[in-house]
Structure 1
Amino acid sequence: MSHSPPDSGRARAFHLAGSSVPAARPQPGLYIVATPIGNLGDITLRALETLAGADLIACEDTRITRRLLDRYGIETPLVAYHDHNAEHTRPRLMERLAAGGVLAQVSDAGTPLVSDPGYKLVEAALAAGHRVIPIPGASASLAALVAAGLPTDRFFFEGFLPARSGARRTRISELKTLPATLIIYETGPRLDESLADLAEVLGPRPAAVCRELTKAFEEVRRGTLTELAGHYAQAEAENRGEIVLVIGAPLEEEAREEDIDAALRRALATLSVKDAAAAVATATGLPRRAVYARALALQGGDD
């Protein structure tokens, strides 16, 4: 049975440099399409062709996505799909896929499913046997990472920290020993408080605050967490827009202290405090008295 898309009469095309470019209808399936994080010029030709050729575009906010489509003369219908209506809307989208439809999914900015709603639609589509095709492009996390000037060989994407300070500090403590550059999203109103908590828990690690990337007032401010916390506590006018924090891995002395504690805990599982301290001191070359004091602290003072 053939399924014709309900909007088959519309022009499947996009405008580029004053010309109309035809867009073929892609193969049926769910297309996850990255869109610009600010500068509308940061869209790929493949993304434009996919958006123009799709039967329907699912987006977080139709007003935001409409601005992008208007820029490139794309007439594909839109449907809102976000956290608040997902349970109601997802079955309708699945029906479109089941009927052989071509569905594109976008977020308000950047790569969908990265700190944005949508993974349940991908999960459902895969479970139903539909194709899921990524159309890569802009990503705020990667843009910030490469601009921060910190090591990029190993990084951990955290997304948003908890809004409340107590829970936020607990989570930061859990991230403290990760041997990787941290990438964290934050909102303007919480920036100064989050930086203060990060500085208190992580200390003076090198970091960068990347704000309004690709936009007119783009800013990348680098320094230690302590310096950045002090700056943004006094610079309320700058605590606006889309913000990505990039934070260096534990400093060498931090990592060494954590390694020693880990070694002591392993030794204490089978040895007395005295013997465990002797074994770790021998293995590390550190003064036995200092290691013994640390072992006592970990053991709560019990010998």
Structure 2
Amino acid sequence: MSLINSNNSIENKIINYIGVLYIIPTPIGNLEDITQRALRVLSNVDLIAAENIKHTRFLLKNFNINAKLFVFHNYNEQQKVKLLIEKLLRGENIALVSNAGTPLINDPGYHLVRRCHEENINVVPLPGACAAITALVASGLPSNRFCYEGFLPTKSKARCDMLYNLSYESRTLIFYESPHRLIQSLNDIINIWGPERYIVLARELTKIWESLYGAPVNELLQWILKDKNRSKGEIVLIIQGCKTNINNNALSVEVIHTLTLLQQELSLKKAITLTASIHKIKKNTLYNYAISKLNT
């Protein structure tokens, strides 16, 4: 019995020499949203891995925190993971922060956290600000089931493909979007999902110019076009899930046959477009049918 206790004691000492990776959310606008726990950890760690040194230094200065900073962003993450792991294994405690919000949510950190698990390094996540969740709970749309998709693709074709793939998604959808692509994205949503899909535009959350506006997408687009300031800043789109009930009997044998033949030679999108044009029916109806067949 004494030997077992001795071995456990040695093991505990070894574990204590391994550092801890803390995942620290930071404010998405209002500096008052940082937690006391986050400030305490940031004040005591050996190193802060930051997406942007200048941005993080500004945050720390506001709370009189002096800390050693390490540049860690999307472009160097995979190269710097090894170095950070070595520091953690030597017993250094490291805090991971992004420019704003919760790290890893469309921000760097996945590869580092994954390696920590592989090396049995303790990962301690702190709760805190996240633009997606902040927008969701204020949207008035169902929040018990939702689907976070990050940023829509920058190129129209890839964006439309994603929207087509999500046409039959019944959960509330969350997207981040860039101000200079917002108009194009809303037009793509209208073309693929129709003008009636309800969307809440959450902009500049927790900041001075914070605003939330919800409307069917066609009305939302017109509202934005009336004032260019309505498309500026950090943007989150909360989108109503699909409510369409697929009734395969609504499609004739001829329509289904046409779609099936065209799919053998063309992409789903092109097959649907041609079938809709030939038989004078809505593309959404055909796409929902195609998705329902894939899910059966």
Smaller-chain TM-score bracket: 0.7 to 0.9
Within 2, Cα distance between the matches of 1:88 and 1:122?
14
Selected match of 1:51 from 42, 57, 82 = 42
Partner of 1:182: 173
The within-5 A match list for 1:169-208 is 169-203=160-194, 204-208=196-200
Deviations 1:132-184 (A, max 9, x none): 11011000000000111111111000101111112111111111111100000
Residues 257-280 of structure 1: per-residue CA shift (max 9 Å, x gap): xx323xxxxxxxxxxxxxxx5xxx
SS in 1 for 2:128: coil
Residue from 113, 129, 135 that aligns with 1:138: 129
Residue 301 of structure 1 and its aligned partner are, at CA, apart by 8.0
Query: RMSD of aligned C-alpha atoms?
Result: 1.9
Report the structure, 1 or 2, having the larger helix content. 2
- Match for residue 120 of structure 1? 111
Change (3 A) 1:294 1:37: farther
CA contact (8 A) 2:74 2:108 kept: yes
Tell me the equivalent position of 1:298: 256
- Residue 205 of structure 2 corresponds to 213
Secondary structure of the corresponding residue to residue 299 of structure 1: helix
The CA deviation at 1:94 is 1.0
Matches within 5 A, 1:19-30: 28-30=19-21
Unaligned ranges ≥5, structure 1 = 2-26, 262-276, 278-290
Q: Which runs of 4+ in 1 moved over 3 A?
A: 293-296
Q: State the percentage of identical aligned residues.
A: 40
Within 5 Å, which residues of 2 pair with 1:210-249? Answer: 210-249=202-241
**CA–CA separation in structure 1 for the residues paired with 2:253 and 2:28:** 49
Please state if 1:90 is matched with 2:81: yes
Contact 1:199 1:229 in 2 (8 A): no
3-state SS of paired residue (1:153): coil
Residue pair 1:59, 1:80 contacting (<8 A) in 2 also: yes
Q: For residues 78 and 172 of structure 2, what CA distance do their matches in structure 1 show?
A: 35
Q: Distance in 2 between matches of 1:301 and 1:60?
A: 48
Q: Which residue in the other structure is 1:99 paired with?
A: 90
TM-score w.r.t. the length of structure 2 is 0.78
The alignment of Structure 1 onto Structure 2 pairs a total of residues equal to 244
Please tell me whether the aligned partners of residues 191 and 232 of structure 1 are also in contact (alpha carbons under 8 angstroms): no
